[in-house]
Structure 1
Amino acid sequence: MAKMDKKPQEGKPANKKPAAQDVAAQLELKPGQSIELLKALHILTREGKLNQDSRRKLKQVYHLYQFIEPLLGELSKNEQAVTLADHGAGKSYLGFILYDLYFKALGRGKIYGIETRAPLVETSQKLAAELHFDRMEFLNMSVAESTRADFMPERFDVVTALHACDTATDDAIAFGIEKKAKAMVLVPCCQAEVAACLRQTKALSLTRTPLAELWRHPIHTREMGSQITNVLRCLYLEACGYQVTVTELVGWEHSMKNELIVARYTGHKKRASAERLRQLLAEFGLSGLAALRYPHLPAETPSTEQGAEAAVLEA
């Protein structure tokens, strides 16, 4: 009796791996982007499937890339080799995708991933070697330590920090200023330092000003601290010669930590921003943070009356 070929039953599709073009369309991949890299980063499973958490992370990285890519294009003109520091790199999703989409084809430039968790650094080093991403380097150190490391380049063109926690974003800004970065692209996360200061001085503030009602309740303290932190960061960047734009990274359904700060160096240091920063520190009882977080603020300008008195004394 002749054997009959087995066919898939109707209504039960064969278990096939998704075609590469289907996966690319589903993920909205850029031309030439490596699906194998996404699998190695565990954004995709071996079968090419994507879970919801990975989709959110990938969406954030893609949106951030859209802000960074024009800066890289501008800075890499005239055969310049752009250096980029990715602070709080974690699993280095951002660094690897930046390299895959931009640095690999460009043939020059280098990415440094800075991360405090040694196992993540080791994994990233191994993956970069396997993919022959030769112009990627991963360092097991804090952002603050990387600023002081004498083996690092004296200057960096771009500084990024995607969800670098609490004061790591401040450290990334300090790194950018020290390294004379031409651009910084920052997505802050878990800003706790200012909220802690507001808690300590809450009773005094409530007796001094009705504005303290804005952070009387614990949840408001946390949110107000986060808002003040980012406002102070923007003023500091402006005072240090950067033009600052603040916007959303992605829709709120993808991330609650969604504020994106893009700073481009112009050399125009705004004294008004420095003065506003000092006024806000005084208003919220945060003056103790000035030397620690804002060491590059321009010198305080004397008031009109003080200036007039100084002129009389000099005469």
Structure 2
Amino acid sequence: MKKTKTSNAASGAGDVAAQLGLRPGQSLELLKELHILTREGRINQDSRRKLKQVYHLVQFIEKLLDELPPSEGGLRLADHGAGKSYLGFILYDLYFKHRAEGRVYGIETRTELVERSRALAERLGFARMEFLNLSVAEATQSPSLPAHFDVVTALHACDTATDDAIAFGLRRQARAMVLVPCCQAEVARHLNAHKALNLARTPLAELWRHPLHTRELGSQLTNVLRCLYLEACGYQVTVTELVGWEHSLKNELILAKYTGQRKRSAAERLHAILAEFGLQALATTRFALPGVRSDRQ
């Protein structure tokens, strides 16, 4: 009799998941805790959009994880700017939970979110999740994290947080990085700083003469420079849409897989673009190439 009740409960949960468009075996309790589902098990349109974005990203990451040769102790993933850890929790629930090894690390600066995530992981029995109250810069140097990571993710990491996640991935010799940038402003600030000089120097400065164009061009340039930088550091880079534009305007997905083949042409183009747009200062800070380690396992 107990078996029948358990079977019926599992079947009922499966029916609910199918009606809501959820993945098989997904924890409804987790989705309620993340406020993607209401306590009654319903989902609104905003939550459906958020879940669709995370699902798309999870599919990319699952494919990456499956392609990577196994590491000793299982695959290790670092999620930067984790926030409420939607991505980390859903990845653990759908991918890591069913495997004997592997670990997910959530890195977040807001103490209350780290404590909430730790408590939720304990309630759900997600024993191989860790949450650290660190900035990305602190995490890059922290001895409490493994020396090597298989995958580094940064979902909607604002402005320079994406660059910090790239720096962390390089330092920790990540075999892959999955980045969804957001609200890039650093390059736009640099473009603004010398706008009059550049207008006199080159007609290309018309591309960022107006503030709206400065913001848009700055965002585009930032991601182009990031891709060239990753290629110069030995990664194969793919850029695609995360989901349809009707779901999110912050939609660019950068996938980088380490090959060890540093592209000299990418480094040359990176420096040429920095010079063309008057951004040479970033060549010694944000996009400095010397000292990138190549002793990968």
Deviation at 1:21, TM superposition (A): 4.3
Shift of 1:201: 1.0
Which amino acid in structure 2 is aligned with residue 49 of structure 1? R
1:263 corresponds in structure 2 to 256
Post-superposition shift, 1:256? 0.6
Is the 8 Å Cα contact of residues 157 and 181 (structure 2) preserved in structure 1? yes
Give the aligned residue type for 1:289: L
1:139 alignment partner, SS class? strand
Does residue 188 in structure 1 map to residue 181 in structure 2?
yes
Larger radius of gyration: 1
Tell me the amino acid that sits aligned with residue 167 of structure 1. Answer: T
Report the CA distance shift for 1:29/1:79 in structure 2 as closer, same or farther (over 3 A).
Answer: farther
Pick from 268, 272, 283 the counterpart of residue 275 of structure 1.
268
- Counterpart in the other structure of 1:30: 23
The alpha-carbon deviation at position 138 of structure 1 amounts to 0.5
Task: Determine if the alignment matches structure 1 residue 136 to structure 2 residue 129.
Answer: yes
- In the alignment, the residues of structure 2 paired with residue 29 and residue 75 of structure 1 have an alpha-carbon distance, to the nearest angstrom, of 26
1:87 pairs with 2:80: yes
Residues 106-147 of structure 1, C-alpha deviation per residue, up to 9 Å, x if partnerless? 121100000111111111000000011010000111111100
Query: CA RMSD for the aligned pairs?
Result: 1.6
Q: 1:22 offset after TM fit, Å? A: 5.0
* Secondary structure class of the residue paired with 2:153: strand
Taking only the aligned residue pairs, the percentage that are identical comes to 73
TM superposition shift of 1:296: 2.7
The number of aligned residues is 281
Residues 84 and 160 in structure 1, CA contact (< 8 A), matched pair in contact too: yes
Task: Give me the TM-score of the superposition, normalised by structure 2.
Answer: 0.91
Aligned counterpart, 1:179: 172
Whole-angstrom distance in 2 between the partners of 1:49 and 1:260: 29
In the alignment, the residues of structure 1 paired with residue 257 and residue 168 of structure 2 have an alpha-carbon distance, to the nearest angstrom, of 15
Deviations along 1:157-194, one digit per CA (max 9) or x if unpaired, are 10000001100000000111111110000000010000
| 1:112 alignment counterpart | 105
Closer/same/farther in 2, CA of residues 26 and 206 from structure 1, 3 Å limit: farther
| Inter-partner Cα distance in structure 2 for 1:248 and 1:134 | 33
> How far apart are residue 298 of structure 1 and its match?
8.1
1:239–1:297 contact (8 Å) kept in structure 2: no
Distance 1:295 1:27, change over 3 A: farther
- Partner of 1:98, secondary structure, is helix
Shift of 1:280: 0.7
Q: Displacement of 1:209 after TM fit?
A: 1.1
Using the TM superposition, give the Cα deviation of residue 286 of structure 1 relative to its aligned residue in structure 2, in angstroms.
Answer: 0.7
The alpha carbon displacement at 1:79 in A equals: 7.2
Q: Distance in 2 between matches of 1:79 and 1:153?
A: 12
State the Cα distance separating 1:213 from its structure 2 match: 1.0
Deviation at 1:76, TM superposition (A): 5.4
Q: Following the alignment from structure 2 to structure 1, what is the Cα–Cα distance between the partners of residues 153 and 235?
A: 15
- Which 4+ runs in 1 deviate beyond 3 A? 19-23, 76-80
Is structure 2 residue 286 aligned with structure 1 residue 293?
yes
| Aligned equivalents of 2:201, 2:24: Cα separation in 1 | 59
Unaligned runs of 5+ in 2: 1-11, 293-297
Give distance in 1, aligned partners of 2:18 and 2:202. 55
- Aligned counterpart in structure 2 of residue 201 of structure 1, from 176, 190, 194: 194
Q: Distance in 2 between matches of 1:100 and 1:235?
A: 34
Normalising by structure 1, what TM-score? 0.86
| 1:106 partner SS | coil
Q: 1:165 aligns with which of 158, 162, 171?
A: 158
